[in-house]
Every structure is written in structure tokens, then in C-alpha cells.
């Protein structure tokens, strides 16, 4: 009986050769991809931490006050002036939050003490204590000093609560009598005086 020769001996199946080599062709790119993925994962936690550190600085932005030598003691300013004091307070708060990356704290828990000590620009250093009770790092006070019927010196001060040190102070002259002029003055003093340079980190 004649046995037919095995023609497959000594030969490799082409499909097996391709299967063995395929992983070798992609091994290096896959390793590089994994290294990049791990690096990206390692970096992600750092970004929120940096952002939260910046956003963690809190400021107590007190309502702007009027210093009018002609106004009898104890009498409130006219309604139109009170409206503009609230207007510039809102503008200051918004701009300091947007541009200065500060978090504005709620003043309500200390409203009675604020009312008791008002006007704050005459309270002989009570502001840092009130701001500290509110959990703030900075205290922002504003005074509109009246010099004429339409002339005001708008003075804004930022005080570091922990040390009581004034870290920023800006003054701008308002020589007009419209809401837009007052709002513009508030934005201007923040941009050109208070935040001309970044605020120092609180102690």
C-alpha cells in the first residue's frame, strides 16, 4: 500500500503568521497611548484644586455709605442717593467676583451689628471684626464723600481681615448725576485701582 506524501510538512500557515505578528505591530503605540492616558488622569485632580484655591477667597462687601458734612447727624440720605449707593455696591460686588475671583459672603447674619456700628467709616476699626464673624478673608468698604451737588469722591478700601492691613485702596471722582455715571465709576475703580494687580493671598 502506497502512502501519499504529506504536502503540509515544513510549511507554515500564512494566517498563523499574521496572527502572531499583529500584536507586535501595535504593542508600542498601545504602550504610548496608555502612558498618555495615565498622565492625563494624574493631571485632572490638580486643576480643580487650583481653581478652588483661587475661588476660596471670601470678601464681605459692605453697602456703600455717604459722607455728607451738610447732612444732619442721624438723618438718612435722600432716596435717590440711597439708590445709587446700592447701585455702586452691586457693581462693586459683581466686578470683584467676576474679575477678582472672590466669593461674596452674605451680610445678613451680622445685619444687626452693621446697623449698630453704622456708619462703618466712623466705627473705629469695627469692620474687620464684623467681616471675620462672617467668615470673610477681606472686607470691602465704600464711601461716597460729597463735595458738591454733583461732585463725589468715591473711595473703596479692601482690608485683610486677619491682619487688619489695608491691601488696596482706590479713589475715583464722580462729577455727574446719573445712574450710569455712578455704575461706571464703580467698575472703573475696581479695574484701574483695586485689581490693577492681583490681590495678595490672605494671611
Given a cut of 70, is residue 149 above it in pLDDT? yes
What confidence tens digit (pLDDT) does each residue in 88-106 have? 999 999 999 999 999 999 9
Ranges 13-17, 22-26, 106-110, most confident: 106-110
- Judge whether 97 and 104 are in contact, CB under 8 Å: yes
Percent of the chain surpassing pLDDT 70: 72
Residue 23 confidence (pLDDT): 46
Give the chain's mean pLDDT.
80
When pLDDT is cut at 50, 70 and 90, the band that residue 31 belongs to is low
Q: What mean pLDDT comes out for the span 71-82?
A: 86
Domain ranges for the chain: 14-44, 55-194
55-194: CATH, from 3.40.50.10070, 3.30.70.270, 3.30.1300.10, 3.40.1360.10: 3.40.50.10070
Longest dimension (CA), the chain: 134
Given a cut of 60, is residue 39 above it in pLDDT? no
Question: What's the whole-model pTM score?
Answer: 0.72
Residue 10 confidence (pLDDT): 47
What confidence tens digit (pLDDT) does each residue in 164-186 have? 999 999 999 999 888 999 999 99
Given a cut of 80, is residue 64 above it in pLDDT? yes
Given a cut of 50, is residue 50 above it in pLDDT? no
Amino acid at each position: 500500500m502506497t502512502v501519499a506524501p504529506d504536502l503540509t510538512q515544513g510549511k507554515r500557515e500564512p494566517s498563523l503568521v499574521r496572527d502572531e505578528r499583529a500584536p507586535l505591530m501595535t504593542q508600542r503605540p498601545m504602550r504610548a497611548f496608555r502612558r498618555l492616558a495615565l498622565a492625563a488622569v494624574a493631571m485632572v485632580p490638580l486643576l480643580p484644586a487650583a481653581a478652588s484655591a483661587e475661588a476660596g477667597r471670601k470678601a464681605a462687601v459692605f453697602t456703600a455709605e455717604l459722607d455728607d458734612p451738610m447732612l444732619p447727624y442721624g438723618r438718612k440720605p435722600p432716596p435717590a442717593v440711597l439708590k445709587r449707593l446700592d447701585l455702586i455696591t452691586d457693581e462693586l460686588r459683581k466686578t470683584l467676583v467676576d474679575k477678582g475671583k472672590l466669593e461674596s459672603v452674605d451680610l445678613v447674619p451680622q445685619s444687626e451689628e452693621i446697623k449698630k456700628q453704622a456708619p462703618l467709616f466712623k466705627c473705629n476699626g469695627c469692620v474687620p471684626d464684623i467681616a471675620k464673624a462672617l467668615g470673610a478673608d477681606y472686607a470691602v468698604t465704600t464711601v461716597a464723600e460729597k463735595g458738591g451737588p454733583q461732585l463725589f469722591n468715591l473711595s473703596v478700601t479692601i482690608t485683610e481681615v486677619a491682619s487688619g492691613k489695608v491691601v488696596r485702596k482706590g479713589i475715583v471722582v464722580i462729577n455727574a448725576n446719573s445712574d450710569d455715571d455712578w455704575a461706571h465709576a464703580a467698575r472703573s475703580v475696581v479695574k484701574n485701582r483695586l485689581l490693577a494687580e492681583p490681590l495678595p493671598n490672605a494671611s
